[in-house]
Amino acid sequence: MNETARAVVLERIRQALSRAYLPAASRLTPPPPSAPPFAEPLAAVFARALAAVYGQLHPVPDADAAVAFLREAWVARGVRQVLSWEPACLELPGLEPALAAAGIVLVPARLGGPDRRAELNRLEPIPVGLTAAVAGLARTGSIVLAADRARGRLASLLPPVHYAVLRTEQLYPDLAAWLAAPGVRREWARHSSTIIVTGPSRTADIAQTLTLGAHGPRELHVVLIGPSD
Amino acid sequence: MRSSASATATRPTVVQFFITCLLDHLYPDIAEACVTVLERAGVRVEVPPGQTCCGQPAFNGGFLAEARQMARHFLAVFAETTGPIVTPSGSCASMVVHHYPGLFAGEPAHQARAEAVARRIREFGQFLVEDLELRYVGGRPGRYTYHPGCHLSRELGVRGCAETLLAGIPGAELRPLPEAEACCGFGGLFAVKLPTVSAAMMQRKLENIAASGAETCVVCDASCMTHLNGGLVRQGRAPMVRHLAEILAEVGP
Amino acid sequence: MSGFEQRAAQALHDVGLQQALRRTMDHFVNGRLRAIAALPHGEALRDHARVIRANTLARLDEHWLTFERNAQANGSRVHWARDAAEACDLVVAIARERGVRRIVKSKSMLSEEIALNKALEAGGLEVLETDLGEYIVQLSRDHPSHIVAPIVHKRLEDVAALFHEHLGTPPTADIPTLTAAARAALRRSFLQADMGITGANFAVAETGSIVLVTNEGNGRFVTTTPRIHVALVGIERVVPTLAEVGTLLQLLAASATGQPLSTYTTFITGPRRHPDEDGPEEVHIILVDNGRTQALAGDLAEILYCIRCGACLNVCPVYRNVGGHAYGAVYPGPIGIVVNPALDGLGPWHELPQASSLCGACTEACPVRIDIPRMLLRLRAASVEQGYAAGWLRWGLRLYAWAAVHPRLFRLGGWLAARAQRLLPGKRNGWNLWLPGPLAGWTATRGFPPLAGESFSARWQRRRGRRP
């Protein structure tokens, strides 16, 4: 049945194209205009852009400092559980024991069992989420999250507060630069979801007034690991 | 999207005047003012006889047969002439420049004629500033504001010419117009088919003109002028919208 | 008086709507201007995006075949729908087969176009809109009035009253309270739904991904928590490569909401890969024609370049004055007055192409520079050919054109009209404040100046020998 619809629509397209007037169509699509390189280090551009979209930046010199920062931040918030990617994917050695010592447990973001709803209800009250990022986009202050086994989407979606760990080596000037980077397109199909996150969730539907935290997290914290300049 | 440069590379000395039906029958004094200004600028003006209407109202309404009829007549009137064809209407200029060639898509002879004539069209203010390179051709000091017509600024891409000529008047003050490029609401048959929306647009423009603090609002299109002055008169107010040619002709340099 | 004119008149008298429009339209326009100015080579990027859209449509069938192959390789199911009814039937069938009862939806103009919610409800399925604006539209049994900001026409007081009634919030609740109430109510639904339905801003052929652009996060929930995700995709939405979609995404965010990128740009590339991952178990992509091939087959194909940013609405003097509901169609504003008749024919929509003064502000604002006035002129010509023009206008213009090719008659006509005009009642300082018949629309709010006693050409002819 759908085979018929498919054949009909494709044939309609072919027929239509013989009569279509498409202004600006050309033999080849030329390359896009390239953006001039930034004069400053990407981390500085990223910091400014992230702040402009109400994200919060926490620069730290190395992985150990990142672990210490997270533990302190979460102790201060009174957090006991964190919805998280599998610790191995975070590349923060010593994270689990450091958190355990402070009475904080990492809960994996996954929906493996038969009762999806029950699992979701169990994960819903967790106040903080933790992920790493695949890349950072300096011009827009964005981070990129790619879903995978052990890298659940829910960690960056369900809790009202999201912490993302990013390394300065993972920063790209902008979206175009990252999409063009080697391996990105090749690896694309491994991930059922690739999300470019630019700041915390927001809405302005009611009277065009900005409110943070519509359905996704209302706070986005980026822990940026790298040498400071 | 400008009409291409005038046919002669050197400064033109003779022009053909394309009156427009609106000026011919509603505002002959403004047409007269155009001629005055052009002659002042050292240009001889010829008015090819038999001009009626370029066909824009029919074309905008989708009446292509009638538009073609009028266009063929227009081409017959102007085709045997040479040199720049100057017209004091952005919308009429745009009609010939952008729509005439397409009207004759199936008729190569007419299409070639249309393209040749289209290349010669110059809007009045554009001609004075871009072709004759003038900055001041006359006008009284006063507080002016300028409303750019949509066809002139967007379709023809002519911006800044009227402002240059107004700013060039010694002692004249050119006030900025809030939401300057917003349409006045005339739109041809639109004004009669959707009168309440058209009137709302007009009201907004009149409010902005009042907010500018100008004594006179200058336009390059008599259609905008008719629409806006029409609103002012209906409201018992003075029709303070005037055509650029009138303003420039008032007093010589 | 046309239907549009009636609804427009109503809109102009709606004080609340007028306030809302005054506040929001400039906000959107200024946002877009700032964001485009902030893009490196913004104008060149727009030209480039226009070429991308044109070239993509030029090989539309090839790109969809590539998309289908790659999407299927990722584990997505690809379905095709010739029209609205077939698309709705497909969704209902998928829901039935998989024992779905509760559905959550993310904003999709295409789903409005095919009237999906009505079909789902008729099929005994419970559907909840989750985009905050659409949720409010659903609660108030209303229709969206803008393609990007559905409740531009509602004031804070309207929403507060609505939420007080449905969610029990205090009657004078502020915006954060209202948003929090919606968040709590919708979260329960996200966690309990069996199926999520979205549209798609783009479909990337080279990876078989669909792209969703949102700010709130509801789009992410709808495509993560339920076990089935259904995406409705219009067949003009394909983009060949990731690089090209990157360009379009920047322009979409800048033009729609004045952002460098929207908060969540989500690429969905099939269902989850592993049983213990989160995300849906099934992804269904429904490719919908519903008149797009009809639009593609001629002069109106350019309307398919549209990336649904809404920039044209925000600058259109007609839209700015009357809002979206006056159009009486799924798509309002400049895009709407072309795309509705392009998809469905002029029959139901012949009034719409008249709802424009041809000012061209839309083309100036459009990120891909779609020439809307050109297509309006084509639609108006088609309208006349198909017999929709009013009798008085047809005959009036025929007479006018005939006189215009007989200059002496034209001049005589002008002279006669000037005389007749003087005889009309209701004058002030020579201006007519009343004109008969269909011209009364003019004089309701405007005077008409007196025709000249002697035309300029008569005067010139008379004086011809006077000047050298």
What's the confidence (pLDDT) of residue C466?
47
Residue B3 has pLDDT above 70, yes or no: no
Q: Which of residues 117-146 of B touch C (CB under 8 A)?
A: none
The mean per-residue pLDDT over the stretch A204-228 comes to 90
Please check whether residue B238 touches C, CB under 8 A: no
Separation between Cα atoms, residue B173 and residue C254, nearest integer Å = 37
Q: Please indicate whether, in this complex, the C-beta atoms of A201 and C225 are within 8 angstroms of each other.
A: no
Residue (of B185, B159, B169, B170) closest to B241 by Cα position: B185
C32 vs chain B: nearest CA distance in angstroms? Answer: 16
What's the confidence (pLDDT) of residue C465?
55
Task: Spell out which residues of chain C touch residue A211, defining contact as CB-CB under 8 Å.
Answer: 175-176, 179
Q: Structure tokens of C395?
A: 């005959």
The mean per-residue pLDDT over the stretch C52-75 comes to 98
Residue B7 has pLDDT above 50, yes or no: no
What's the confidence (pLDDT) of residue A207?
81
Residue B229 has pLDDT above 70, yes or no: yes
CB proximity list for C13: less than 8 A, separation 6 or greater: none
C354 vs chain B: nearest CA distance in angstroms? Answer: 7
C450 vs chain B: nearest CA distance in angstroms? Answer: 7
Contact B79, B140 (CB under 8 A): no
- Residues facing residue C202 across a β-bridge: C211
Q: Which chains touch C (3 or more CB pairs under 8 A)?
A: A, B
Separation between Cα atoms, residue C341 and residue C344, nearest integer Å = 5
Interface probe for C, chosen from A46, A203, A218 (most Cβ of C below 10 Å), is A203
Q: Please indicate whether, in this complex, the C-beta atoms of C217 and A216 are within 8 angstroms of each other.
A: yes
Please check whether residue B230 touches C, CB under 8 A: yes
Distance of CA C119 to the CA centre of its chain: 22
pTM of the predicted structure, to 2 decimals: 0.95
B24-58 b/e (C-beta count within 10 Å ≥ 16 → b): bbbbbebbbbbbbbbeebebebebbebbbbbbbbb
Please check whether residue B201 touches C, CB under 8 A: yes
C397-415 per-position pLDDT tens digit: 999 999 999 999 999 999 9
Q: What is the DSSP string of C340-369?
A: HHHHH-SGGGTTGGGS-----HHHHH-TT-
Element (H, E) at C124: none
pLDDT > 70: percent of chain C: 99
What's the confidence (pLDDT) of residue A205?
84
Q: How confident is the model at residue B6 (pLDDT cuts 50, 70, 90)?
A: very low
Q: How confident is the model at residue C370 (pLDDT cuts 50, 70, 90)?
A: very high
Q: Structure tokens of A82?
A: 């964190």
Separation between Cα atoms, residue C290 and residue C372, nearest integer Å = 21
Distance of CA B216 to the CA centre of its chain: 17
B171 vs chain C: nearest CA distance in angstroms? Answer: 31
Residue C437 has pLDDT above 90, yes or no: no
Say yes or no: domain B137-249 is CATH 3.40.50.
yes
Q: Structure tokens of B89?
A: 């209407």
Q: Which residue of C has its CA nearest to A18?
A: C297
ipTM value: 0.95
Domain boundaries, chain C: 1-38+307-389, 61-290, 391-463
Q: Which chains touch A (3 or more CB pairs under 8 A)?
A: C
Please check whether residue C27 touches A, CB under 8 A: yes
What's the confidence (pLDDT) of residue A113?
76
B26-82 per-position pLDDT tens digit: 999 999 999 999 999 999 999 999 999 999 999 999 999 999 999 999 999 999 999
Phi-psi region of B134 (alpha: psi -120 to 50; beta: other; left: phi over 0): beta
Element (H, E) at A57: strand A56-60
Residue C231 has pLDDT above 60, yes or no: yes
The mean per-residue pLDDT over the stretch B142-150 comes to 97
What's the confidence (pLDDT) of residue B2?
44
Residue (of B89, B7, B4) closest to B53 by Cα position: B89
Strongest mean pLDDT among A22-31, C364-373, C435-444: C364-373
Q: Please indicate whether, in this complex, the C-beta atoms of A204 and C149 are within 8 angstroms of each other.
A: yes
The mean per-residue pLDDT over the stretch C4-17 comes to 94
Domain boundaries, chain B: 4-129, 137-249
The mean per-residue pLDDT over the stretch B94-99 comes to 97
The mean per-residue pLDDT over the stretch C312-318 comes to 97
Please check whether residue B58 touches C, CB under 8 A: yes
Q: What is the dihedral of CA C351, C356, C360, C361, to 10 degrees?
A: -120
Q: Please, what is the average pLDDT of chain C? A: 94
Q: Tell me how many degrees the CA angle A134-A135-A138 measures, rounded to the nearest 5.
A: 165
Separation between Cα atoms, residue B198 and residue B228, nearest integer Å = 11
Q: Please, what is the average pLDDT of chain B? A: 94
Residue (of A197, B106, B104) closest to C217 by Cα position: A197
Of A35, A157, A185, the CB nearest to C242: A185
Q: Which residue of C has its CA nearest to B99?
A: C374
A179 vs chain C: nearest CA distance in angstroms? Answer: 6
Of C186, C187, C293, the CB nearest to A16: C293
Q: What is the DSSP string of B30-96?
A: HHHHHHHHHHHTT-EEE--TT----SHHHHHTT-HHHHHHHHHHHHHHHHT--S-EEES-HHHHHII
Q: Which of residues 3-62 of C touch B (CB under 8 A)?
A: 4-5, 8-9, 12
Q: How confident is the model at residue A33 (pLDDT cuts 50, 70, 90)?
A: confident
Contact C351, C2 (CB under 8 A): yes
Separation between Cα atoms, residue A83 and residue C162, nearest integer Å = 35
Q: Which residue of A has its CA nearest to C163?
A: A206
A9-27 per-position pLDDT tens digit: 999 999 999 999 999 999 8
Task: Spell out which residues of chain C touch residue B50, defining contact as CB-CB under 8 Å.
Answer: 407
What's the confidence (pLDDT) of residue C147?
86
Q: Structure tokens of C238?
A: 């394909």
Least trusted range by pLDDT, from A215-224, B182-191, B231-240, C165-174: C165-174
The mean per-residue pLDDT over the stretch A56-80 comes to 97
Q: What is the dihedral of CA A36, A37, A43, A46, to 10 degrees?
A: 10
A11 vs chain C: nearest CA distance in angstroms? Answer: 8
| Alpha helix ranges (H) inside C74-174 | 84-97, 109-113, 116-122, 132-139, 156-167
Least trusted range by pLDDT, from B72-76, C145-149, C231-235: C145-149
Length of chain B: 253
Task: Spell out which residues of chain B touch residue C317, defining contact as CB-CB under 8 Å.
Answer: 182-183, 185, 201, 204
Of C317, C382, C441, the CB nearest to B185: C317
Crossing angle of helices B195-212 and B222-234, in 10° steps, is: 90
Please check whether residue C321 touches B, CB under 8 A: yes
Please check whether residue C366 touches A, CB under 8 A: no
Q: Percentages helix, strand, coil for chain C, rounded to the nearest 5?
A: 55, 10, 35
Separation between Cα atoms, residue C342 and residue C295, nearest integer Å = 5
Residue (of B246, B84, B47, B95) closest to B162 by Cα position: B246
Task: Spell out which residues of chain C touch residue A116, defining contact as CB-CB under 8 Å.
Answer: 225, 227
Q: Which residue of C has its CA nearest to A7?
A: C80
Please check whether residue C449 touches B, CB under 8 A: yes
Contact A139, A45 (CB under 8 A): yes
The mean per-residue pLDDT over the stretch A204-212 comes to 85
Of C50, C187, C218, the CB nearest to A24: C50
What's the confidence (pLDDT) of residue C23?
86
A141-153 per-position pLDDT tens digit: 999 999 888 888 9
Which CATH architecture fits C61-290? 3-Layer(aba) Sandwich (3.40)
Please check whether residue B187 touches C, CB under 8 A: yes
The DSSP call for residue A28 is S
Contact C217, C263 (CB under 8 A): yes
Length of chain C: 468
What's the confidence (pLDDT) of residue C274?
86
